[in-house]
Structure 1
Amino acid sequence: MPRVLIADKLSPAAIEIFKQRGVDADVKTGLPKEELLKIIGDYDGLAVRSATKADKDVIAAAKNLKVIGRAGIGVDNVDIPAATAAGVVVMNTPFGNSITTAEHAIAMMFALARQMPAADASTQAGKWEKNRFMGVELYGKTLGLIGAGNIGSIVADRALGLKMKVVAYDPFLSPERAVEIGVEKVELDELLARADVITLHTPLTDKTRNILSEENLKKTKKGVLIVNCARGGLVDEKALRKLLDEGHVGGAGFDVFVEEPAKDNVLFGAENFVATPHLGASTVEAQENVALQVAEQMSDYLLTGAVTNALNSPSVTAEEAPRLKPYVALADKLGLLAGQMVDFGVKAIDIAYEGDVAQLNTRPLTAAALAGVMRPMLAEVNMVSAPAVAKERGIVVSESKQDESPIYESLIRITVTTEKGKRSFAGSVMAGAPRIIEVKGMDLDAPFSTTMLYVNNLDKPGFIGALGALLAEANVNIATFNLGRVAAGEDAIAMVGVDQPPADNLVEKIRALPHVKEARVLRF
């Protein structure tokens, strides 16, 4: 039974889902890092919100960890590169709190437009300063969205319902999608010049950090309202305070800050500044939704291999997982075959899919194939880390698909390009098991064994007998024996499954046989 550690507070309903699905869930919240490091090695999964830091130390100590589930969208508290290198899938729940966060941004807009917090404090202090709090209408104003993804599009929908005009800056927003959600796609400078209200809905990256810098804030309309319910660091807080004090920015509402918890911040005390303590996802409905989603996603992965909302691994639906499983095994073993047959620097890897397999989700298959190819050289590489490792090393990876396969229902071919040339290997799934069907352009039909002997020779009489005699003399039992050749007397190969690993001196004797070009031991 897989074991999951719930390290932050989740809904009891999520714990019940784990148990119903057959996952052993332990709830241990608020653990000091030292305690977490001591116990994390006992678990297959780690469920967190934002409090627990799954940093590189925690991941290094988590020897059995397979998945980290973040109940929510932000993963600032998870070291994704370290998790990827360790083969740990990192999942979040990007849609469970989308409406809640969007509504919080709209609430901030209203609070700023009508100065509600200050008016509330004044009124409850008995001042009745009716003439002091002159608000502005949102009707007819232009809302500028920086980021028009899931949450941004919900904000746009609500703003359109308020009869606002919406312009959006998002490099990944297609013209068709812009029309669909009812916004006008613009460049950032145009948004800054036109917007009466600017709200941010983008992740924090090197490209988006301080996207509202002092320079960009100065490009905005006088009196603009700024709302940030996305991520601290998207706005230059010092520059914003300066422009609030000068009156250029009419108001700002922040739910997130560069430093959290934000107990002291340069923006605190500014005129018409509204702050909330990272409440974007803090509704009963959102907390329940993300907790249930993360429990379902983690259970699916641990029990079936289905991958949903992963940030470092291809997604695989619960329906796809059973169909993909035998092909993932084939891709991995075929890649491992290729990796053990290559002795020089890998420059490129091409994976070709033919027949029924070409209709499937091939991204997990490609990841498995890459992991197999690189594992003989990089022992720690895995299906999760392989694409990133290949990219880091400058290996060109390509895929091709063909709906028809001349002979087999499905075929996967891996071609590895090295400094010395190309080598190609093909395999198929038969009766649910992976098999080798082509090596060096020669057809054969060989099952994978734990240990195999590969021999490339000229097809001459007496070779099989000589090879069998050497194996018998060394007390190595033959489990399977499969042959392929170009033609009589020409290039040939033997793939021999053996029950005992051949010793180095035996391999040298095989290489010394007449007509043998190459011999090596393969392990799967």
Structure 2
Amino acid sequence: MAPKVLVSDKLSETAVQIFRDRGIEVDFRPELGKDKDALAEAIGEYDGLAIRSATKVTPSLLEKATRLKVVGRAGIGTDNVDKEAASKKGVIVMNTPFGNMITTAEHAIAMMFAVARQIPEASASTHAGKWEKSKFMGVELTAKTLGVIGAGNIGGIVCDRAKGLKMKVIAFDPFLSEEKADKMGVEKVELDDLLKRSDFITLHVPLTDGTRNILSKENLLKTKKGVRIINCARGGLVDEEALAELLKSGHVAGAAFDVFAVEPATENVLFNLPNVVCTPHLGASTTEAQENVALQVAEQMSNYLLDGAVENALNLPSMTAEEAKVMGPWVKLAGNLGSFIGQLTDEPIKAINILYDGIVADMNLPALNCSVVAGIMKKSNPDVNMVSAPVVAKERGIQISTTNQDKSGAFEGYVKVTVVTDKRERSIAGTVFSDGKPRFIQIKGINIDAEVGEHMLYTTNEDVPGIIGTLGGVLGKHGVNIANFTLGRAKAGGEAIAILYLDGSLDQNVQAELAATGLFKQIKPLEFDAV
């Protein structure tokens, strides 16, 4: 059945057509974004939800979204999506951080010009029939120092444009390396240095616990007298009350804000202050940007629903379509390994240790980790998936660690998963053969070569004669056909294991008859997703 997507906000017809062209059924109902009850009534039919800012994706909406796999936000901000609730429900949340980069950066530059030359006030005065030429004395941007807080995608474009204006650019960004700063032609500084030296300060960081009120009253007081501040990033980055006081006192010469702590901002302490330029969150509001993010979100959602590619997800490691093709068998293997251990482990898990060896060590390990953890968690929570599994594991206090190493054995690459409980450690390793099929290659330190099937039987026993005959006889008696039979042992007469790939599942009578033989220490039917 083809995936089905709901577009509940205004997206361009070209974007909607992308879904259709990719073979996805799509309903374009932009009126639902402002009608939460109607949206809740309809959402259960859809695998994907494409939105802008009007639609609110709340926990109560997600409860109704029984088929939903992905929410795509055409734009960068996802404040209208409860990402924690989405993760718990296993729903991927994507945004489009690159479609409006140039537009937002250009708006910041325009706001800088506007506040430097008092353009809005001068325009209003002139429209009013006044000719107050001497009142609006501005400053040049040339040779001034611009302090950029956040030199990522948008901040980097602002840096580049400012250099073209012959400004001296300094940047504070904990993630900016000296090498990258040199390449950008900017000076990397600490925040206090930026505050003291900047003639203009522009912000380009997300709103997090670490950046909230980054321009607090304390930090604003550290700025150079006559500084001008531009915020086209997120409301809440600047203490607006403190900024208003410093504007009134003259310490801050001007401010230009496109975003506010509370939006829609129908009233604000910054409104109607002299030389304060305010716009209604227009950073991404150009025809080019609106089209770009709409097209991008349609492509991203289509790629995920059809090919499993994960791009610009906020709650799952990204995986390109090319990566998905190469990694698909390894993602499947990772889930199988986790599922094997999860089905065998009855006591609470304290830690999950994952080892990647050889070619797989260079792949997208965060995505593989999610698959392993999802496989383990499925026994206790059948609805868990790669998105929700890490959340469930964290809630249970499970520690997850990863090790990667160069090729160390007979296989080009393999994955080994070890689970730690209060009682024991249990491990299994697997690889992917050239046919693309996952194989179990080691269980409990015993080497094997077992093809993974939908229905399997795992047994442990002392290495004594008669095991093969007993298993074959009992299963044959009950009409269970064996597709593949693999044996392994630690040493002659020591611990041995058998893993059987069956054509059907086992019932309790078969297990009881095997147990009655007294030959087996453990008899465990296993079920895996269809391969």
Fold in common (TM above 0.5) = yes
Q: Distance in 2 between matches of 1:196 and 1:409?
A: 57
Counterpart check, 1:153 vs 2:159: no
One-letter code of the match for 2:485? Answer: F
Counterpart check, 1:513 vs 2:517: yes
- Equivalent position to 1:361, from 364, 368, 377: 364
Aligned pairs for 1:225-244 (under 5 A) are: 225-244=228-247
Q: Can you list the C-alpha shifts for 1:171-224, whole angstroms capped at 9, x where unaligned?
A: 111111111212222222221111111111010111111111122212212221
Counterpart check, 1:394 vs 2:401: no
The SS at the match of 1:47 is strand
One-letter code of the match for 1:401? Answer: N
Give the deviation of 1:389 after TM superposition. Answer: 3.3
For 2:9, the equivalent position in structure 1 comes to 8
Q: Distance in 1 between matches of 2:293 and 2:140?
A: 34
The SS at the match of 2:146 is strand
- Equivalent position to 2:421, from 398, 418, 426: 418
Q: Distance in 2 between matches of 1:500 and 1:297?
A: 38
Aligned pairs for 1:374-389 (under 5 A) are: 374-389=377-392
For 1:67, the equivalent position in structure 2 comes to 70
One-letter code of the match for 2:463? Answer: D
Q: Can you list the C-alpha shifts for 1:111-144, whole angstroms capped at 9, x where unaligned?
A: 1111111111111111101111111111111111
Counterpart check, 1:287 vs 2:290: yes
The SS at the match of 2:416 is strand
Comparing 436-445 and 88-97, the one that deviates more: 436-445
Comparing 20-29 and 118-127, the one that deviates more: 20-29
For 1:124, the equivalent position in structure 2 comes to 127
One-letter code of the match for 1:125? Answer: A
For 2:449, the equivalent position in structure 1 comes to 445
Aligned pairs for 1:50-199 (under 5 A) are: 50-199=53-202
Q: How many residues align?
A: 524
Give the deviation of 1:505 after TM superposition. Answer: 5.6
One-letter code of the match for 1:230? Answer: A
Q: Distance in 1 between matches of 2:511 and 2:425?
A: 24
The SS at the match of 2:30 is coil
One-letter code of the match for 1:480? Answer: N
For 2:209, the equivalent position in structure 1 comes to 206
Counterpart check, 1:459 vs 2:463: yes
Q: Can you list the C-alpha shifts for 1:209-246, whole angstroms capped at 9, x where unaligned?
A: 11111222122122211111001111112222222222
The SS at the match of 2:411 is coil
- Equivalent position to 1:436, from 440, 446, 449: 440
Q: Can you list the C-alpha shifts for 1:362-383, whole angstroms capped at 9, x where unaligned?
A: 3322210111122213333311
Aligned pairs for 1:315-326 (under 5 A) are: 315-326=318-329
For the 8 Å contact 1:405–1:411, the answer to whether it is kept is no
Counterpart check, 1:248 vs 2:265: no
Give the deviation of 1:474 after TM superposition. Answer: 4.9
For the 8 Å contact 1:427–1:435, the answer to whether it is kept is yes
Give the deviation of 1:339 after TM superposition. Answer: 1.1
Q: Distance in 2 between matches of 1:215 and 1:405?
A: 55
Q: Can you list the C-alpha shifts for 1:352-402, whole angstroms capped at 9, x where unaligned?
A: 223433333233222101111222133333111223433443333223334
Comparing 342-351 and 202-211, the one that deviates more: 342-351
- Equivalent position to 1:302, from 301, 305, 308: 305
One-letter code of the match for 2:334? Answer: A
Give the deviation of 1:102 after TM superposition. Answer: 0.6
Q: Distance in 2 between matches of 1:511 and 1:243?
A: 81
For 2:495, the equivalent position in structure 1 comes to 491
Q: Distance in 1 between matches of 2:515 and 2:412?
A: 36
Comparing 355-364 and 279-288, the one that deviates more: 355-364
One-letter code of the match for 1:13? Answer: T
- Equivalent position to 2:261, from 239, 258, 261: 258
One-letter code of the match for 1:45? Answer: G
Comparing 290-299 and 337-346, the one that deviates more: 337-346
Counterpart check, 1:338 vs 2:347: no
Give the deviation of 1:343 after TM superposition. Answer: 2.6
Q: Distance in 2 between matches of 1:522 and 1:42?
A: 32
Q: Distance in 1 between matches of 2:311 and 2:337?
A: 26
Q: Distance in 2 between matches of 1:304 and 1:403?
A: 29
For the 8 Å contact 1:359–1:403, the answer to whether it is kept is no
Give the deviation of 1:252 after TM superposition. Answer: 1.0
The SS at the match of 2:31 is coil
The SS at the match of 1:30 is helix
For the 8 Å contact 1:30–1:52, the answer to whether it is kept is no
For 1:23, the equivalent position in structure 2 comes to 24
For 2:226, the equivalent position in structure 1 comes to 223
Give the deviation of 1:411 after TM superposition. Answer: 2.1
Q: Distance in 2 between matches of 1:403 and 1:60?
A: 44
Comparing 445-454 and 242-251, the one that deviates more: 445-454
For the 8 Å contact 1:324–1:360, the answer to whether it is kept is yes
Mark the runs of 5 or more structure 1 residues left unpaired by the alignment.
none
The SS at the match of 2:382 is coil
Give the deviation of 1:404 after TM superposition. Answer: 2.6
Q: Distance in 1 between matches of 2:376 and 2:347?
A: 12
For the 8 Å contact 1:114–1:135, the answer to whether it is kept is yes
TM-score, length of structure 2 as denominator length: 0.94
RMSD: 1.9
Give the deviation of 1:286 after TM superposition. Answer: 0.9
Give the deviation of 1:33 after TM superposition. Answer: 0.4
Structure 1 stretches of at least 4 aligned residues deviating more than 6 Å after TM superposition: none
TM-score, length of structure 1 as denominator length: 0.95
For the 8 Å contact 1:348–1:418, the answer to whether it is kept is yes
